[in-house]
Amino acid sequence: MADINLHNVTKTFGDYRAVNDVSLNIADGEFVALLGPSGCGKTTLLRLLAGFEEPDGGVISLAGQAVADPAAKIMVAPEDRNLGIVFQSYALWPHMSVARNVGYPLEVRKLSRADRDKRIRDALAIVSLGDYADRSPTELSGGQRQRVALARCLVMEPRAVLLDEPLANLDVHLRETMQQAFLDFHRRTGATMVYVTHDQAEAMAMADRIAVMDRGHIRQMAAPETLYREPSDNMVAGFVGAGAVLPVGGFTMQGDGRCAVRIGNADVMARISIEASTHCRAYPARMVPSNDGAAVVDGQMQHQTSLGLCLRPEDVRVDMQGNLTGMVDDCVYLGGRFRLSVRLDGQHSVPVYADQRARIGEQISLSIRDGWVFSRQEAA
Amino acid sequence: MLAVGRWLSASGLQMGGNRFSDRLLPLLFVPVIIISVLPMIRLAVEGLFVHGTPSLDYLRDVAQSSQTWRATAHSLYTAGLGTVISLLIGGAFAFLVALTDIRAKAALVFCFMIPMMIPPQITALAWVQLTGPSSALLNAIGMAPAMGSPQPLYSAEGIALLLGIQHASIVFLTLRANLRLLPREQIEAARLAGARGGRLWWQVILPLTSPGLIAGTAMAFVTALGNFGIQAMLGIPGNYITLPTLIYRKLSSFGPSALGEVSVLAMLIGLIAVVGVIIHHRLLSKRDYRLMGVVGRPLDIRLGNRRLVIEIVLWAVLVAILVVPLMALVATSLVPAFGVRLSLDNFSFDAFYQVLFVQPATIRAFHNSLLLAVGAAIVLVGVCLPLAYVIVRRPTRLTRVINLLVEIPYALPGVVLAIACILLFIRIPVLNISLYGTLAIIFVAYLARFLIIALRPVMNSFLQLDPALEEAAQACGAGVGRRLRDILLPLAAPAAAAGALLVFLTAFNELTVSALLWSAGNETLGVLIFNLDDSGDSVMASAVAVMVVGVVVALMTGFQLASRHLPKGVIPWQT
């Protein structure tokens, strides 16, 4: 097992920068998900790690040893990296039995027959497919095939396991079972795992940390709950979790990383990111005194610094005494509760979970318990 | 740099992932150039140089000869009319099979493909045996025309008819491939919009399938143009000379001294073929009908109570173009002695016994064709596996060029390649040996011509192979040699076997190339049938032809049965 380090890695296809100056450190034994919309570069990043693609610049190291470094003309072939990989299409060889598929890495490494058989048995037992050793992969279901692929990684005791959207071909019910299988696998083996997915629920359920990618960059890398509560920019806030990002006109610092922001006709208490608060402090000239004497950021600021307020539906409640009013735009039953979309000031809507159905067009009052203010400007 | 290299090799690391295929490339590129491009260059040089200096003498001689233009006109007329016939038969079959609810489609398609796989000289022989005053079949049932009346097929229209029948399956295949991609929603949408009957056909279905129609027409025309078997078997007795037969005549009467003129004629055919292909590409480039929607759900237009009538007509056409001529062929092969009227009491298998065990020329021809076909199949598959791997997995500009080059010897009419091979191998420059008059020259020409037949199935198979299968092996630690052996070869083996069988099938029956390259002692089966018929021994010619057809149908049946295990696109009649 090993840690993985990427330093300023870039990969271009023609004019297109699929992976753009990415630096990433994955600790030994960590489960990291690469999350992003399709075409964001996450699969390319995984293939760079595996060695199927050669970077144009930067350094990729496994356990401290450089495996790809164009500047030093180092490029270790995939077969010499000792990494396990699980593909979306399973990539089981149809002309070999399940046992031979699983044992192939050992066959290549010229292990003795007895040794091989024992390790194949152990690996198949871990993925609970002990009885299927002599079957052909074509006779197995999708979930079973994926477990065979996992066992094939396991036998070779890889330095890390790379997974490329391994659940994308499975149906919803099987996905949950397989997520559990991956988690069990991770706990039992302690393997470093890098998991590519476009499904945020999958990433949040499994990963220790999630790296959100967009257009070749890593936007934010953090634990799932941090990502959800404190997205660093607009893309992450919009991509991860249901919620809304509202533009913020002005705010008043309240200390302790909290502030009051004006939304529609009401003030809302929210947490604020350090970047957002320091960014505004850098422009004191634009802070103008308000009626009650607190410093309020001028309305003009909206266009220049682009602060955003990220609201999650569980932070917004329908409340007769609420100081925020809006009109119901949409009402969807989710089973057990309703999700309303409430239009605030003619332009922006917020999602709200409610216990009761609401009429479209109805005026309701809301109260907001929490929010997150961040700088919407994306890092260059 | 050196230090880094030494460190890398010491630690067992490799630079780049694909050194193997980089090394492989020139090794494959050189032979491909030699067999597919060099002959064509040599052909151009021969026509445009006289005694080593550039000259237009040959060009002028050929252009001033009225023979040339008469043959060109004949070629264009027969190929053009033949294409129209192909279009009518193949088009009707394709539309009915692909779009309607007629029954027994698989059987219909299989039978319709047989004419394409039967060598043209046998088609010609079968039809000649069917019609005309000496037809064994017609005589047996007492319906033969009077003795001395002309054989109706020895005419321009006769040639065109057989060319049309022979190549109808080409139109059928390209059109059906197109129709298969036609999403049923587009037709359903038109029907909901109110289009019915003729309007639906003319305004929706026909325009949407025009790319397939155009491609099929172009391919049928180019193939008909180069079809030597039918043009020779019908044209030479009827003294209706086309460009391929003109070349054949000049070469067989004047020998190598006619090579200069003949190469200009070969270029002329090549030029007509290329113009045909260019027109086809022009027409296609203006139509970008990318068909959207769910592909693969076949459309079943209900024919209602007309279905039975249409089915009867389709099968009747098949009986007329396939069963009846083959019956005539069998009948002739069973005639006890030439001129004797065949009946149930007097038929004899003597001709079969003669060709298989007695006549040295026929035994030799079987032997030669078998040797050539098996040899070509083995060599080509051996070359194609690494070649296809490199082309598919390393798509560089060079591999794309190779991919186009290997098409040339097959796309151009066979006589062009044959002449080019004579020119190149009559005296090999450095080695100073001649292959002309040996079996080897036929072999080399076969390699050039059929490379593409072996390459396509293997390439298709590699293309359809999920790259992850190979990458998974790579991640398991398998180097390129192991991956080829353990993963790629077993998975590509069915396609390679199919490619080998197709090469065998085509080479076993080949006539056009070998007709110009054979010499005494080096006859092929195609040449044998042609010569036997030419010398009036149609009974023995028919016996050989019946055996060849037997082999063809047996192999096709084998393919059909194995089709489930083969990658898509391998079997020519299952697009």
Query: Mean pLDDT over residues B225-248, rounded?
Result: 89
Q: Which element (helix H / strand E) includes A11?
A: strand A4-13
Phi, psi for residue B33 in degrees, rounded to 5: -60, -45
Name the residue of chain A whose CA is nearest to B467's CA: A91
- The residue type of A155 is V
Give SS3 for B133.
coil
Sketch out chain B's domains with CATH numbers.
19-36+348-575 (1.10.3720.10), 75-241+269-335 (1.10.3720.10)
A349-368, pLDDT tens digit by residue? 888 888 889 899 888 988 88
* Interchain contact A240–B (C-beta under 8 A): no
pLDDT at res. A380:
41
Give tens-digit pLDDT for B367-425.
899 999 999 999 998 888 888 888 888 777 777 777 777 777 777 778 888 888 888 88
pLDDT at B569 over 70: no
On the CB side of B397, CA atoms within 13 Å amount to 0
**CA pair distance B189, B435, nearest whole angstrom:** 62
Whether residue B318 has pLDDT greater than 60: yes
What is the pLDDT at residue B1? Answer: 36
Assign A287 to helix, strand or coil.
strand
**Chain B interface includes A75 (CB < 8 A):** yes
Contact yes or no for A50 and B475 at CB 8 A:
yes
Tokens of B90: 């193949």
- Locate the domains of chain A by residue range: 4-238, 242-375
A25 - beta bridge partners? A5
Tell me the per-residue pLDDT of B419-455, one tens digit each, with 9 for 90 and over. 888 888 887 777 777 887 788 889 988 998 888 888 8
Q: Identify the CATH number of the domain defined by range A4-238.
A: 3.40.50.300
Mean pLDDT of B3-31: 50
CB contact under 8 A, A152 and B476: yes
Give the type of residue at B469.
L
pLDDT band at B572 (very low <50, low <70, confident <90, very high): low
| A13 at interface of B, judged by CB pairs closer than 8 A | no
pLDDT band at B357 (very low <50, low <70, confident <90, very high): confident
CA B572 to CA B173: how far, in whole Å? Answer: 8
Give the pLDDT band of residue B296 (cuts 50, 70, 90): low
- Report which listed range, B10-24, B178-192, B288-302, is most confident: B178-192
CA quadruple B204, B205, B211, B215: dihedral sign: negative
Interface A–B counts its CB contacts (< 8 A) at 88
For residue A194, what are its two tokens? 């890098």
What does the pLDDT read at residue A43? Answer: 92
Q: Which residues pair with A88 in a beta bridge?
A: none
CA distances from B249 to A318, B67, B78, B358 (A): 97, 12, 18, 30
- Supply the pLDDT for residue A367: 87
Torsions phi, psi of B501, nearest 5?
Answer: -65, -40
Q: SS3 for A325?
A: strand
A192 vs A31: CA distance, rounded Å: 6
How many whole angstroms from its chain centre is CA A286?
A: 36
Tell me what pLDDT residue A286 has: 44
pLDDT at B333 over 90: no
pLDDT digits (tens, 9 = 90+) for A286-306: 444 444 444 444 443 433 457
What distance in Å separates residue B14's CA from the closest CA in chain A? Answer: 6
Q: How far from B198 is each of A41, B46, B191, B504, CA to CA, in Å?
A: 51, 54, 12, 45
Dihedral sign of CA atoms A201, A203, A208, A212 in order: negative
Q: Quick check: B477 contacting A, CB < 8 Å?
A: yes
Rounded Cα–Cα distance for residues A125 and A131 (Å): 9
Cα separation of A366 and B2, whole Å?
Answer: 72
Q: Are A133 and A165 in contact (CB under 8 A)?
A: no
- Are A52 and A59 within 8 A, CB to CB? no
* Residue B514, pLDDT score: 87
- Average pLDDT on A28-52 reads 92
Tokens 């967009």 sit on residue: A214
Instruction: Please determine, for residue A281, whether its predicted confidence score (pLDDT) is greater than 90.
Output: no
CATH number of A242-375: 2.40.50.140
Taking Cα atoms as reference points, which of B444, B457, B450 lies closest to residue B492?
B457
CB–CB contact A77 B1 (8 Å): no
For the record, the structure tokens of B259 come out as 């090579």
Q: What is the per-residue burial (b if ≥16 Cβ within 10 Å, else e) of A276-304? A: bbebbeeeeebbeeeeeeebbbeeebeee
Strands A217-222 and A244-247: unpaired
Contact B471 A50 (CB under 8 A): yes
Instruction: Give the pLDDT of residue B338.
Output: 66
What distance in Å separates residue B472's CA from the closest CA in chain A? 6
| Residue B18: strand, helix, or coil | coil
pLDDT value at residue A303: 39
Other CB atoms closer than 10 Å to residue B121's CB: what's the count? 29
A82 Cβ under 8 Å from any chain B Cβ: yes
The pLDDT tens digits for A93-141 are: 988 899 999 999 999 988 899 999 999 998 898 888 889 999 988 889 8
> Would you say B277 and B222 are in contact if contact means Cβ atoms under 8 Å apart?
yes
Q: What is the pLDDT of residue A302?
A: 39
Q: How many helices (H) and strands (E) does chain A have?
A: 10, 24
Q: Taking CB atoms and an 8 Å cutoff, what residues of chain A touch B473?
A: 93, 104
B228 Ramachandran zone, left/alpha/beta (phi>0; psi -120 to 50): alpha
Quote the CA–CA distance of B85 and B218 in Å, as a whole number.
13
Pairing between β-strand A192-197 and β-strand A31-35 as defined by DSSP bridges: parallel
Residue contact A80–B478, C-beta within 8 A:
no
Mean pLDDT across the stretch B201-222? 84
Q: What is the mean pLDDT of chain B?
A: 81
Please report where in the chains the tokens 């042609």 appear, as a residue.
B530
Q: What is the pLDDT of residue B20?
A: 55
Mean pLDDT of B105-125: 85
Task: Taking the CA atoms of B291, B295, B296 and B298 in sequence, report the sign of the dihedral they define.
Answer: negative
Amino acid in the structure at residue B411: A
Residue in A closest to B469 by C-alpha: A91
Which of B1, B464, B476 should we substitute to test contact with A (largest number of A Cβ atoms within 10 Å)?
A: B476
**Three-class SS of residue A320?**
coil
Query: What mean pLDDT do residues B147-159 have?
Result: 84
